[in-house]
Structure 1
Amino acid sequence: MPPVTTALITNDAVVLGLLAITLGAVFWTSSRTTGFWSRFYTYVPSLLMCYLIPALLNTAGIIDGNASALYGVARDYLLPSALVLLCIAIDFGALMRLGPKAIIMFLTGTVGVMLGAVVAFEAVRLIHPETVAGETWRGMTTVAGSWIGGGANQAAMKEVFEVDATLFGQFVAVDVLVANVWMAVLLFMASRAKAFDRWTGADLSAINALKDRIETYKAQHARIPGLNDVMMILAIGLGATGLSHFLAAPTVAWIATLPAEWRLQDYSLTSGFFWIVVLATTIGLLLSFTRARSLEGAGASTIGSAMLYILVATIGMHMDLKALFDKPFLFLLGLIWIAVHGGLMLLMAKLIRAPLFFMAVGSQANIGGAASAPVVASAFHPALAPVGVLLAVLGYALGTYGAYITGLLLRSMAT
């Protein structure tokens, strides 16, 4: 039964049309080279507007993201297809040569989530003790699971620490709102990457080499796409997505038959979405070694990027800005938490001279997981989207352990 909603527009077909018009308007205005819009997009990234306008529509009650099935469709169908199409032109060897800084920044993000939970708990205890009294620490463990791994890890923490349903719902709201605010910050920072990289003194040679190789290949094989090209691109993208779904279900069913003491669910190996993302990315990378790679010249990654922008809009329509005022101190806890995470990421980026790309994607691979890490990565360049996916998959493996340790620390502080 669909959720009850009071939104002005409840028909998903109409909502999809509204989102499409929104994306079209953003792209049209951002393409202006003179006048107000040229000055506006000098300071506000177009990708951020694709995310923020649906959020404002949701907040105003015009649409209701929670009552819409569009996000599920975009996540399950368009995201895997986009990953396949963005991976087709990737130079896998160059991807592997990006170096250890990406992993260092990702692990720093994980530590930042764990440390941020402890600092936020103690800070709010000083500011407003009632907010963290009682069982609040239990709810925080579910956010830790989500921000290090993903939904499966979040659900695991709910069961491990026996989180009450009402408390769980409150922290789901904190998770969604704060994570979306942070994603908006990262998208804004992405437009300032050059200034950030000058500040850190980052070595961009490996990233630039990868982007240059992709651009060179695309230029050498560029052609005006015909209907045949477009249909082949869609056949590969959607066909690989269908294959990923087809293989994910029996894989999860088979894993469920393995001994329970192996605790494979701790690695998200019993999550269907996990396998869909892994399989789609793998198929895309394998296709990059075949003649399918030539479809990049006909715009395969462009179509993949369009799919990602639709996903961005559906993510944005889940953000309710009014929620900031419902339980302000609970959200203050979340904001302090994410600020510690972000501060630690900035410090590490400066210490090891990491590019903003590694910091932003390493952070989002933790906080947002595979559904949004490639979005942030593609804000730098479509060819870099697979980096976000690979790091997010690592987060699934670490999520349960990191969140469990965080839960033990919070329990000791609370009791």
Structure 2
Amino acid sequence: MAIDPAGPTALITNDAVVLGLLAAILALVFWSADLKNGAVRRFYAIFPPILLCYFLPSLLTTFGVVDPETSRLYFIASRFLLPAALVLLTVSADLPAVIGLGPKALIMFATGTIGVMIGGPIALFLTSLVAPDLMGGAGPEAIWRGMATVAGSWIGGSANQTALYEIYGAGRDTFSIWIAVDVIVANIWMAVVLWIAANQRRVDRLLRADSSAVDRVRDKAEAYELAHARIPALKDLVFIFGVGFAAVGLAHAVADPLSGWFGANFEIAKRLSLDSSFFWLVLTATAIGVALSFTAARKLQGAGASKVGSLLVYVLIATVGLNMNIGAILDSPAYFVIGAVWMLVHVLLMVGMAFLIRAPSFFLGVGSMANIGGAASAPVAAAAFHPSLAPVGVLLAVVGYIVGTAAAWFTGLVMMQIAAGAG
């Protein structure tokens, strides 16, 4: 949402102080989660640590302590820490085993895409019946135009959302409202996915899921780490740091010119997000990590490469949490209800398909976040289930980038017809 220059400013505007607060929150959560107190253990059985690392930073935004729109912490975390985390989490990946997970991952991803595509029109149709005054006519502020941009975000990512904003000409006011709906509703669902990751075996039992393929990949990764585990020396940590951030530098060096070249030479590049530097950044970092997994660099897993990668993921989770201002729901409650109905359709379809094909909760959560969260959230969600599974989230998110604009464009056409019929 646009910043109001005359509006109230955040209590803390220094990013160094905000980073210190986030670090303190992460440390407090992990320290308290390790306490032996019975009440604390029961609390964390309901609210897993990873969920609190995501939720507590959102309170800083909700109560005006921090303004995420003036902070660059999320940008830095997503452009520097996320690529490094992807490299360190995939450097120990067993790629053949990941590929051997089977078709259920793609089935769940496709189900998530369909859920977004039909959920939007269903939510809009119900709105036309219950509150036709919200439809906004046929001009730029029409509700369906703003919803089309959310479809781009929830199938692909921010680049796809921008493309839909230009294709359907949404007005600035409606676009601002729907950006808020996008962020809040998607982040609430992300919190649920993180809870599922922390309770995956319990959820798998409810879904009657066959999680054997995922368990094999996870067990194999843990066995490799155990067999090569050692107390890391300073040189090991320096090597981990060097591999991670040298790869980040290389990924940026490749991503920036590559996105510019595609954007300048191919008209279709914009529709496929090939002109997005972030798209190429994530893809290149993952490719580097996978390539290194076939070299001696894989031995860094024994010194804790995946643990360092997981630490970077937790920092990213905390900065993502800053973007969730729960208080924003009070500004435009009707639009958030529409967004919640839309998300509910997506979730019900995902759960139904998971139950039908006995897909494990990992495929449910990551297949959904590869749509809803894109490349910034899918690998984080996958790593929450297990660090060795992060590459699956990246690969599915890349598919989302590719199909996002076309699928959202079609969804926009359907919603335009519903709005026209309501008018």
Coarse TM-score class (shorter-chain normalised)? over 0.9
185-194 or 138-147, which deviates more: 185-194
1:104 equivalent to 2:114? Answer no
Q: 1:326 is matched with which residue?
A: 331
CA separation in 2, counterparts of 1:382 and 1:15? 27
**Conserved 8 A contact 2:263-2:274:** no
User: In the alignment, what sits opposite 1:301?
Assistant: 306
Residue in 1 that maps onto 2:35? 32
Distance in 1, matches of 2:266 and 2:19, equals 44
Q: Are 1:105 and 1:362, in contact at CA under 8 Å, matched by a contact in 2?
A: yes
Q: Over residues 228-249 of structure 1, what are the superposed CA-to-partner deviations in whole Å (9 max), with x where a residue is unaligned?
A: 0001000000000000000111
- Distance in 1 between the 2:359 and 2:36 partners? 32
State how far apart, in whole Å, the 2-side matches of 1:186 and 1:255 are.
34
Using structure 2 for the length normalisation, give the TM-score: 0.96
- Aligned residue for 1:66, secondary structure, equals coil
Aligned pairs for 1:229-240 (under 5 A) are 229-240=236-247
1:159-202 CA-to-partner distances (Å, cap 9, x unmatched) read: 11111111111110110111111101111222232222112221
Say yes or no: does 1:252 pair with 2:255. no
Aligned-pair distance for 1:77?
0.0
- The DSSP-based 3-state class of the residue aligned with 1:32 is coil
The within-5 A match list for 1:62-211 is 62-134=65-137, 135-211=142-218
Q: Secondary structure at the match of 1:405?
A: helix
Looking at structure 2, the residues matched to 343 and 70 of structure 1 have their Cα atoms a distance apart, in angstroms, of 34
**TM-superposed deviation, 1:3:** 8.0
Give how far 1:368 is off.
0.4
Q: Is residue 153–residue 400 contact of structure 1 (8 Å, CA) maintained in 2?
A: yes
Distance in 2 of aligned mates of 1:274 and 1:83: 13
- 1:219 equivalent in structure 2: 226
Q: 2:319 aligns with which of 314, 325, 337?
A: 314
Letter in 1 for 2:290: L
Distance 1:259 1:75, change over 3 A: closer
- Aligned partner (choices 291, 297, 300) of residue 292 of structure 1: 297
Question: What letter corresponds to residue 392 of structure 1 in structure 2?
Answer: A
| Residue 250 (structure 2) aligns with | 243
Deviations 1:114-159 (CA, angstroms, capped at 9, x unpaired) = 1100110011222222222321111110000000000111000011
Gaps of 5+ in 1: none
Note if contact 1:190-1:356 (Cα within 8 Å) is conserved in structure 2.
Answer: yes
1:267 aligns with 2:272: yes
Output the amino acid matched with 2:47. Answer: V
TM value normalised by structure 1: 0.97
Q: Which residue, out of 415, 419, 423, partners 1:410?
A: 415
1:393 equivalent in structure 2: 398
Q: Distance in 1 between matches of 2:384 and 2:83?
A: 18
C-alpha separation in 2, matches of 1:252 and 1:53: 36
The count of residues paired between Structure 1 and Structure 2 equals: 412
The alignment's C-alpha RMSD in Å is 1.2
Distance 1:345 1:256 in 2: 34
Separation (CA, whole Å) in 2 of partners of 1:191 and 1:278: 27
1:244-292 per-residue CA deviation (whole Å, 9 max, x = no partner) reads: 00011111222133242xx121111000000000000000000000000
Cα deviation for residue 210 of structure 1 reads 0.6
Identity over aligned pairs, percent: 51
Letter in 2 for 1:313: A
Q: Which residue of 1 aligns with 2:370?
A: 365
Q: Does residue 1:21 correspond to 2:24, yes or no? A: yes
Q: The residue matched to 2:93 in structure 1 has which SS?
A: coil
Structure 2 CA distance for aligned equivalents of residues 389 and 319 of structure 1:
23
**Superimposed CA distance per residue, residues 44-77 of structure 1 (whole angstroms, 9 cap, x where no aligned partner):** 1111100100001110111111110000000000
**58-67 or 221-230: bigger deviation:** 58-67
Structure 1 contact 157–403 (Cα < 8 Å) conserved: yes
| SS, match of residue 405 in structure 2 | helix
Give the Cα separation in 2 of the matches to 1:238 and 1:113: 36
Structure-2 separation of matches of 1:330 and 1:253: 36
| Local SS of the residue matching 2:69 | helix
